[in-house]
A and B are shown apart, each in its own frame.
Chain A
Amino acid sequence: MRGALPAGGPFGVVPAPEARVRRFGLEGLVLGVAVILLLLLVGYPLLWLILAAFGLPPEFGIEYFVRVFTRSQNYDALINTLQLALGTGAVSVAIGVPLAWATARTDMRLRNVVHALVALSYITPPYLTALAYIILFGPDAGQFNRVLRMFIEVDSGPVNIFTMGGIIFVIGIHVFAFTYFLTYSALRSVDSSLEESAQILGTRRWRITLSVTLPLVAPAITGGALLAAIDSLALFGPQAIIGTPAQIVFLPTRIYATIGSYPPRWAEASALSLVLVVLTVIGLAVQRGYLERRSYVTVGGRGGRTTRISLGAWRWPLLLFCLAVVFFSAVAPIGVLVLTAFSKSWADPPSLSNFTLAHFATALFHDQVSVRSIVNSTKLATMAAAVALVIGASVAYLDLRTSVRGRRLLDYLAVLPLGLPGTVMAVGILLAFLRSPIPIYGTIWILLVAYVARFVPLATRSANATFRQVDASLEEAGRITGASWWVAVRRILFPLARPGLLVAFLLVFIPSFSELSATILLYGSGTETIAIAIYRLNDLGQIEVVSALAVFTIAVVLVLSALVNLLSNATSEPRAQV
């Protein structure tokens, strides 16, 4: 669910412009292939997931669902997952809303820095944040704990990241970005005249904020909190990296364990996956309901204007709070990974004698698996982005420029994966291709399938937004003057849409580059990706090399995200998030 946060939520559907002429030939071929690919990549695995959960083949039954709820380890996982979602939703409101208010509506200093650092905490892959927090708040060797123990007399701790609270914290400081950005957008578009009226009536400033401003943006806050909660349901990395040693089981890790233990229990994994899907779908439906209630709000009116509130004496406490949040969500985790990557031993304090470049040399040049993983991730992310772009552009084109029947459904199918956890997608793909005559299991191609299937919505939405900005009449003018469909698309649409399409490409490339939750179930010998190398090396305790690889990954993701931002700002459509 990374990338642009759509105003209408992941399932936000946009009204189609007037019907268009139906054409065949090359057009039909290109679009047809894209549609078939989409059905094969998204529809087919989902079908298998549902079949397998009901015991098919060989026979229909609900015993696996019964098994899911009668075994304590599955039941515990469900309860823990719900707790986690509630916890992170609450955390996201507690820190996301004050931050959004501070940056959107006040004259607080450094608000641009805070805004950028929230974006940074969002684009940092959460499993890397989790690794960083083990280094920071591991109960014994954790760097922050060792500092704290200078002041507090305890044998261990005082903070233990290997707890439910620890996991909620680590995931919370990642997913609060959803609440932050949605609230931020809403606050930016609140018409200040209402607040001013209240002020004229003599209401105090803090009361205005609490009783006028916040209720206006409440749907955005709730919607953001729900997205945060849904995203945390689906994460695999932090739940595995912190949850496993903490002895706390969640649904995604449970699904992984039912397949990763031998013999693989496909049906149970499918049933668990469907439970996770149901949770996600309920969450998304509620979330969409909340966002639609935005209609009663004054936001969105173009004529409104927003004033910044002068904080006076409160500017410093608020700034301190904001800086503390982004320190823990972005600066500290990334900082400690950088320090560790350059340290001979992570458990020793940073110093000149502890400085080394050896881990980068190992990660980038010497370690077989690590080097191969960088090559694989780069290749895969490039291919996935290219394929997703073709599919996404085709779906968007069908939606906006044709009146083909079923294009609505297609659009829905292309957005659906946003609501599906990576682990669940992987189980579906495994089931689908284990039995398929297409022999891609164990090869790099199954990872390509997974990445395209997972991230095609990002390309579709982005392409949709881009094509929307190019008036269809331009292409029609080209057609009237004798250009073929392909020429019209290539010479008129593509050049005009190029920056937007590049954004679409990057929006798929970035999450594919560091994907973990689906990859962990699908990779094989020779197809390790960066996330796998990090995960496996961490299993073997090679924290320093892991950190070097993590720093490299964050650097790549950061540079590309900055590029996305640049391109997005260059086009008129604001896609502010990344």
Chain B
Amino acid sequence: MRIGRRSVLEGFAAGSSVTILGTGTILGSGLGSRAFAQAAGPAEASQIDVAKAKAEGKVVLYTSLDTKIVDAVIAPFKEKYGINVEYFRGGASDVASKVLAEADAGRAEVDMVDASDLAALLLMKDRKLLKPFKSDASGAIAANLRDPDGTWITDRLTQAVIQYNTREFGANPPKSWADLGGSPWKGRLVFFSSATGDGAPRIYTLAKHLGWDLVKALAATKPLRVQSPQVLTQVLERGERGAGFLQNDNIAWRSKEQGKPTDYLFPAEGVPTELGACGLLARSSRPHAAALFFEWWMSPQGQAILVEGGKYSSRTDVAPPTGSPPLSKLKLLTLDPVEYKKDRAKILDQMTAIFGGEWGS
């Protein structure tokens, strides 16, 4: 019942042709596709009608991806099809709560959802908000990184790294999570989470695999909390703090690429990985346009744009970002999204108890 680290790795190493232990995963908890009402529009990529898509005119996307990357993915699509993509960008919780609130309201504003919190998509699936769709990308994505019912598919993997200021630690950078837990780091650390708990999954992953004591030790250094990875990197670039824990790898990568005085590392003890996933909304009033964009988003070309922005693609046929190690070389720590979905309220309470402040619990 979990997406194990090994299965993720094997998925990458072996591609999709190999069936892996643990792929049943979410299958067991999810509903069979028969349980879904017959959704309107295309059920698989080959059924997308481009003419209808153009007639539908636009796609509304809710996403938690960095706006710079989203803009870059949308531009060629808009140019090719003349279909506009309007998007709402917020943290994963913002995205999820908006989709769920709209569902409560019986509204169908959104056509496609993308969030770096798989548990959120599982919750949407439970509520029958997502539409089963057989993407052409399925063949290139490990079976355990997509829903057997086709309601969601992983599009990216975000690794939580240690980012640090090279002026402060050029000669002697931190090496491990355990390193950061000590008293010399008091007042020198920074981490991020929105007030709605977006930082919680990775902290929980770290605690699950390496122990709550480590997390408590990090909290004991009185780390500065900022609202997003984008602000975290700025705090380090300006030297306000020395090191950031559980930073998004793509943001750390970009900072380094841009020649800012930062560097980052994937600690050998293990790197929490966060699955970003996307899906189509069952009640979408623009099913063809949405599916067309979905397929572009998941295509090798679309995914290549994510990679240019520093993201690791879920596709086995798309290389990692320039200069980044292949995921198979990393010890990935994963989160069981089913468990996280179930225990989320409790976990957020724990975060509040350990770090204080607002976690949306």
Contacts and interface: CB of A to CB of B under 8 A. Distances in A.
Interface stretch (B95-103, B135-143, B278-286): B95-103
A258 B361 CA distance: 7
A493 to B, nearest CB: 41
A244 interface: yes
B54 interface: no
A433 B105 CA distance: 7
B361 A73 contact: yes
A259 interface: yes
Most chain-A CB neighbours within 10 Å: which of B105, B224, B355?
B105
A249 B357 contact: yes
A354 B55 CA distance: 48
Interface string B76-102: 000000000011111001101110111
A442 B165 CA distance: 42
B105 A347 contact: no
B107 interface: yes
A240 B196 CA distance: 12
Contacts of A248: 357
A257 interface: yes
A297 to B, nearest CB: 44
A541 interface: yes
A261 B105 contact: no
A259 B101 contact: yes
B231 A264 contact: no
A540 B71 CA distance: 15
B195 A264 contact: no
Contact of A140 (B196, B197, B227, B240): B240
A434 B106 CA distance: 8
A356 interface: no
A178 B195 CA distance: 30
Contacts of B355: 247
A442 B93 CA distance: 17
A73 to B, nearest CB: 5
Contact of A541 (B102, B230, B348, B358): B230
Residues of B contacting A: mostly? mixed
B238 interface: yes
B105 A264 contact: no
A438 to B, nearest CB: 11
A459 B348 CA distance: 43
A258 B345 CA distance: 11
A205 interface: no
Interface in A444-493: none
B360 A260 contact: yes
B357 A247 contact: yes
A441 interface: yes
Interface of B: 60-62, 67, 71, 86-90, 93-94, 96-98, 100-102, 104-107, 109-110, 120, 123, 187, 194-197, 224-228, 230-231, 233-234, 238-241, 348-349, 352, 355-361
20 contacts: A240-B195, A243-B358, A244-B195, A244-B358, A245-B226, A247-B355, A253-B195, A253-B358, A257-B359, A261-B93, A261-B359, A261-B360, A262-B93, A262-B120, A266-B104, A434-B104, A525-B109, A526-B60, A541-B228, A541-B234
